[in-house]
Structure 1
Amino acid sequence: MKAKVHITLKTGVLDPQGKAIEKSLDHLGFTGVGEVRQGKVIEIELAETDEAKARDAVDAMCRKLLANTVIENYAIELS
């Protein structure tokens, strides 16, 4: 099973990289772009075949290592 974890900053947390991307897009002539927020995607190959157990394991990975839950949200996608 494969897991994708999408990690983004929580609303209200400053995103300097997103701001830099936003300004760069404007300078390159891309108009009509609103606020830009950036994040990261982590892909994990799992030996687990039970979806509930896989989700629980990845959730624990996120809480313990992959995401800083004070300032970041995460969403898990299994396939």
Structure 2
Amino acid sequence: MIYAVHINVMPLKELLDPQGKAVMSGLSNLGLKGVEDVRIGKHITLQVEAASKEEARKIAEEASQKLLANQVMEYFEITVN
């Protein structure tokens, strides 16, 4: 079966996000008020062939740990559909 796997990779909350700060400043310069914080990350979609949702999640987890996320600076969340 083919599963659509969505992986969100974000900077750790404890770390400064320079891209997010730049966007926050830009929004303020445009007069857009009310935005409290901006964090910039990556959204990755995989089409995974697997026998079950659990197997698809394991494949995505391994891909995230080994390649897609730098676990020193980022965390990831996986959704399997």
Bin of the TM-score, shorter chain as denominator length? over 0.9
Counterpart mapping for 1:1-79 below 5 A = 1-79=3-81
TM-superposition CA deviations, 1:3-60 (whole Å, max 9, x none): 0100000012111100010000001110111121111100001111400111011100
Q: Extract unaligned runs of 5+ from structure 2.
A: none
Q: Which amino acid aligns with 1:27?
A: N
Q: State TM-score, norm by structure 2.
A: 0.93
Whole-Å Cα distance in 2 between the matches of residues 34 and 8 of structure 1? 17
Any runs of at least 4 consecutive aligned residues in structure 1 with deviations exceeding 4 A, and if so which?
Answer: none
Whole-Å Cα distance in 2 between the matches of residues 49 and 13 of structure 1? 38
Q: State TM-score, norm by structure 1.
A: 0.95
Over the matched positions of the two proteins, sequence identity in percent amounts to 34
Whole-Å Cα distance in 1 between the matches of residues 69 and 54 of structure 2? 20
CA RMSD of aligned residues (A): 0.8
Q: How many residues align?
A: 79
